Amino acid sequence: MTVQEFTDSLTGPRPPFGLHPVAEALWHDGRGDWEQAHNIAQSREGTRDYDRLHAYLHRKEGDEWNAGYWYRRAGAAVFTGTLEEEWQELTKTFLKK
């Protein structure tokens, strides 16, 4: 699935079948359901991919301190681009998994 196909799917009632759970969380976030995306991030705390998602979500929420904590836990640098760029990058990454 391409990022464009994924983005187009945001108008549907449910995420495409077979997505990596982090991609599914990004789908929910892309539809404005931050809470559902956050629930997925919390479901496997301590797992690098989920912690990376968690960092993005708290950055989006505006909680820079908490986002920094999750970036560190994920072993990732704090993303310096826009939130849209970060969403796109994460989506590309997790559509491949």
Residue-number span of the structural domain to which 42 is assigned: 3-95
Q: Return the pLDDT at 62.
A: 97
pLDDT band at 91 (very low <50, low <70, confident <90, very high): very high
Question: How many domains does the structure of the chain reveal?
Answer: 1
> Helix, strand, coil: what percent of the chain each, to 5?
70, 0, 30
Over residues 30-48, the pLDDT tens digits come to 999 999 999 999 999 999 9
Contact partners, residue 6, CB within 8 Å, separation at least 6: 16, 23, 27, 91, 95
* Token couple for 70: 């999750």
Q: Kindly report the pTM of this predicted structure.
A: 0.96
- Tell me which residue has tokens 């391409």: 2
- Tell me which residue has tokens 């559509």: 95
Neighbours of 86 (CB within 10 A): 17
Task: Please compute the mean of the pLDDT values over residues 72-94 and round it to a whole number.
Answer: 97
